[in-house]
Structure 1
Amino acid sequence: MNLELPALYAGYSVPGSGDLQSSRNRFVLRKREELAMSDADLSADKVRTMLTESLERLRKASAEYFELLEKGLSTSQLPVADQAKQFCGYMQRNVTATFDLGEKLIQAKDMQDAVKIQSQFFQDQMRSLTDHAKSMGESVMKAATGVSTPKS
Structure 2
Amino acid sequence: MSEEGRDRFEIPKEMRSIAEASVDQARKAFEKFVTSVQQTAGSIEERGATVRAGAKDVSAKAISYAEKNVQASLDFAENLLHAKDLSEVMRLHSEYVQSQMRSLAEQASEMGQIVSKAAMEAAKPKI
- Kindly state the Cα deviation for residue 104 of structure 1 after the two structures are TM-superposed: 0.3
Q: Secondary structure at the match of 1:109?
A: coil
Aligned pair in 2 of structure 1 residues 99, 119: CA closer, same or farther (>3 Å)? Answer: same
* TM-score, with length taken from structure 1: 0.67
Q: 2:80 aligned with 1:127, yes or no?
A: no
Q: Secondary structure at the match of 2:12?
A: helix
What amino acid maps onto 1:87 in structure 2? A
Find 1:86's aligned residue among 31, 51, 61.
61
- Kindly state the Cα deviation for residue 89 of structure 1 after the two structures are TM-superposed: 1.7
Kindly report which structure 2 residues correspond to 1:102-117, keeping only aligned pairs within 5 A, or say none.
Answer: 102-117=77-92
Q: Which runs of 5+ in 1 are unaligned?
A: 1-39
**Bigger CA radius of gyration:** 1
Q: Secondary structure at the match of 1:75?
A: helix
Q: Secondary structure at the match of 2:84?
A: coil
- Kindly state the Cα deviation for residue 148 of structure 1 after the two structures are TM-superposed: 3.1
Greater RCO between the two (CA within 8 Å, min separation 6)? 2
Find 1:61's aligned residue among 29, 34, 37.
29
Q: Which runs of 5+ in 2 are unaligned?
A: 1-8
Q: Distance in 2 between matches of 1:65 and 1:149?
A: 35
% same residue: 29
Q: Distance in 1 between matches of 2:80 and 2:104?
A: 22
Q: Distance in 1 between matches of 2:119 and 2:65?
A: 21
- Kindly state the Cα deviation for residue 146 of structure 1 after the two structures are TM-superposed: 1.2
Q: Distance in 2 between matches of 1:111 and 1:59?
A: 26
